[in-house]
Structure 1
Amino acid sequence: MKTVLYARVSTTDQTITHQRTQAEAAGFQIDTVVADEGVSGVTTRLADRPEGRRLFDMLRQGDVLVVRWVDRLGRDYADVTEVIREFMRRGVIVKTVINTMVFDGATTDPMLMAVRDALIAFMAATAQAQAEATKEAQKAGIAHAKGREDAYRGRKPSFTREMFEEVVRRINNGETVQAIAKATGITRQTAYRIRDHRAEAEAALARWAA
C-alpha cells in the first residue's frame, strides 16, 4: 500500500513543494507525488490531465490518495463526485489535507455511508461554486484590463424588461408570435427568441441590469 499526493498548480503563486509541505505538516507520509503544472482545474477533467491519468493506472486497492482539497480532482460538482466515487469503487481511500476529510469505499455502516456521501456532495458543490467565482473574477479582471467591461455581457437586448414581461404574458395566454410582435412592436425573431429561450433572454436582461 502506498500514499500518493496529487498536486495541481495552475498559477505562479502555487507550487508543488508547498502542497507537499502542507500535506506532511498535516501528518501524511507521502510515498509518491504526482503533479500537473500549468493545468486549469476549471476546464480540464482529471482524466484528461497528463499526470492525472496516471492516478487511475497506478492506484490500487488499499492505496491512499491525498489532495489539498477536493477541487484538485475535478471541474465541477458532477466531475468531483464521480472521480471520488470511482476511486472508492477501486478501493482507494481519498483524504484531504484541508479539514482532514476521509472518503473510504470500504465503509459499510449505513450512517457513516450517509455522512460520507453528504460530505462528498457538499464539498463538491463548494468546489464548483469556488470555480465559478474564479471564472467570473477572471472575466471581470480581463474586461477591466482591456477597458471593455461590456464585452462579457454579450449583445444588449433589443427589448426592455417591461416588453419582456408583456411578451411572456401574451405567450402564456396562447397568442401567436405574429400577433405578439404586432402588439408589442418587437420583431418576430425577438418574440421567437423569448418564447423558445426564455431563461437566456431574462439572463441577458439581468446582465445589462435592464
Structure 2
Amino acid sequence: MATILYARVSTVEQTIEHQRTQAEAAGFKIDKVVSDDGVSGVNVPLAERSQGKRLFDMLRSGDTLVVRWVDRLGRNYQDVCDTIRTFMRQGVVIRTVINSMTFDGATKDPMQMAVRDALIAFMAATAQAQAEATKAAQKAGIAHAKTSAEAKAYKGRKPSYTRDQLATIRDMLSEQAGVAQIAAAANVSRQTVYRVIENPVAAEAALATWGL
C-alpha cells in the first residue's frame, strides 16, 4: 500500500515542492509524487491530464491519495465528484492536507454514506465557486489597474505577496480558516490577510499593476 501525493500547479508562482512540503509537515509520509504543471483545473479533467492519466493507472486498492485540497484534483464540480467516487470504488482512500479530510468507501451505512457524499459535493462546489470568484476578481483587478489614473501615474507599494500566496489566502478563506492559520500557511503577515479580506479586488489590482 502506497501513499501518493497528487500535486497540480497552474501558475509560475506555484511549485510542486511547496505542496509536498505542506503534506509532509502535516504528517504524511509520501512514497510517490505525481504532478501536473501548468494545467488548468477548470478546463482539463483529471483523467485528461498527462499525469492524471498516470494516477488513474497507478492507484490500487488500499493506497492513499493525498492532495493539498480537493481543488488540486480539479475545479469543476462534476469532475471532482466523479473522480473521488471512482477512486473510492477502487478502494483508494483520499486525504486532504488542509482540514485533514478523509474520504473512503469503507462505510456501508446509508446515513454515513449520505453525509460523506454531501460533503464531497459541497467541497467540489466550493472549489468551482472559488475558481469562478478568482477569475472575476482577476478581471476586476486588471480593469481597475488599466483605468485608474492613479495606478497609471503611481504604482504604489509593491505587494508583499505573490499570486500563489493570494490564491492560498483565498482558498483558505473559503474554507473558513482563521487569520493566523492562513497567515502561517501562506507565509504572509496577518495584516496582509486582513487587507485581502477587506478588499480582494484591490489585492488583485495591486498584482496586476505591478505585472505580477
Q: Spell out the pairing of 1:38-117 with structure 2 (5 A cutoff).
A: 38-117=38-117
Shift of 1:49: 1.1
Q: Deviations over 1:30-89 (max 9, x none)?
A: 000001111111221111111111111000111110000001112321111111011111
Q: What do residues 108-155 of structure 1 show as CA deviations (whole Å, max 9, x unaligned)?
A: 1233212211110111111111011122123334445555xxxxxxxx
**Kept after mapping to 1: 8 A contact 2:4/2:34:** yes
Query: Which residue identity lines up with residue 16 of structure 1 in the other structure?
Result: I
| Residue 130 of structure 1 pairs with residue 130 of structure 2 | yes
RMSD (Å), alpha carbons = 1.7
Q: Which amino acid aligns with 1:22?
A: Q
Given the alignment of the two structures, is residue 22 of structure 1 paired with residue 19 of structure 2, yes or no?
no
Q: How does 1:1-20 map to 2 (within 5 A)?
A: 1-20=1-20
Q: Give the corresponding residue for 2:150.
A: none
Amino acid at match of 1:35: S
* SS of aligned partner of 1:114: helix
- The TM-score, its normalising length taken from structure 2, stands at 0.65
Asked if structure 2 preserves the Cα contact closer than 8 Å seen for 1:44 and 1:75, the reply is no
Quick check: which has more Rg, 1 or 2? 1
Letter in 2 for 1:44: V
Segments of 5+ residues of structure 2 without an aligned counterpart are 148-212
Determine the C-alpha separation between the residues in 1 that align with 2:138 and 2:102.
32
Whole-Å Cα distance in 2 between the matches of residues 84 and 71 of structure 1?
A: 12
Stretches of 4+ aligned residues off by more than 6 angstroms: none
CA distance in 2, matches of 1:143, 1:40: 23
Contact 1:63 1:92 in 2 (8 A): yes
State, as a whole percentage, how many aligned pairs show the same letter. 77
Letter in 1 for 2:23: A
User: Equivalents in 2 of 1:10, 1:74: separation in Å?
Assistant: 11
Q: Is the 8 A contact 2:6 2:65 kept in 1?
A: yes
The aligned residue for residue 168 of structure 1 is none
Report if the CA contact (8 A) 1:74-1:80 is conserved: yes
Q: Mean alpha-carbon deviation: is it higher for 63-72 or for 102-111?
A: 102-111
Higher relative contact order (CA 8 A, sep 6+): 2
What are the ranges of 5 or more consecutive residues in structure 1 without an aligned counterpart? Answer: 148-210
TM-score normalised according to structure 1 size: 0.66
SS at match of 1:94: strand
Letter of the structure 1 residue corresponding to residue 10 of structure 2: S
CA distance in 2, matches of 1:10, 1:69: 14
Distance 1:140 1:39 in 2: 23
